[in-house]
Amino acid sequence: MSEAWLEELSAEECATLLRSDVVGRIAVVVDGSPIVLPVNYRLVETPAGPLVAIRTRPGNVIDQAHEVAFEVDGIDRAHHRGWSVLVRGTLHHLDVDAPGVPTRFDPASWLVVGQDAWLVIEPRVVSGRRLQAATIEWAFHASAYL
């Protein structure tokens, strides 16, 4: 069997993968320790660059965060392949009453009552990796099984 390898993803590949899902994980620091929580999200393309939009309950640990990390991934356990995109940046509050905000920034989340804090992550760094599976090198010729 040959060895598996990691490849870096381009910025466009990262954006495509971010567009392809609606659930990711946000990491924040609470009382000096990191925690990771699942969130619904939406990638919003703007002239200044992409933003990751989320909604949460006002006053919770996400709403109080400033610097965050956000991650989405895809895993194929059967074939030992996968990918991951990591966004590191600053969390900003949105004014939900501003024109266009509800239609452009709503992550269409699996809303829990009270998720009235609208937030966006302004990326500072976006990176991604893809794990390419090892190829199996058979010790026997296939014709031995026919």
Give the mean pLDDT of the chain. Answer: 83
Question: Residue 35: CB partners within 8 Å, gap ≥ 6?
Answer: 27, 28, 29, 61
Closest CA to 49 of 74, 15, 1, 80: 15
Of the CA atoms within 13 Å of residue 134, those in its CB half-sphere come to 7
140 has a pLDDT exceeding 60: no
Note the pLDDT tens digit of each residue in 47-81.
888 999 998 888 889 988 999 999 999 988 877 78
- Provide mean pLDDT across the span 7-21: 94
Measured from the Cβ of residue 56, the count of other Cβ atoms closer than 10 Å reads 23
- Provide mean pLDDT across the span 103-120: 66
Spell out the domains of the chain, with CATH numbers in brackets: 5-145 (2.30.110.10)
113 has a pLDDT exceeding 60: no
- pLDDT reported for residue 88: 97
- pLDDT reported for residue 89: 97
- pLDDT reported for residue 67: 95
Q: Are 24 and 86 in contact (CB under 8 A)?
A: no
Distance CA 8, CA 27 (A): 22
- The pTM of the whole model exceeds 0.85: no
- pLDDT reported for residue 3: 72
More confident residue, 36 or 102: 36
Percent of the chain clearing pLDDT 70 (strictly above): 74
- pLDDT reported for residue 141: 54
- Provide mean pLDDT across the span 22-43: 93
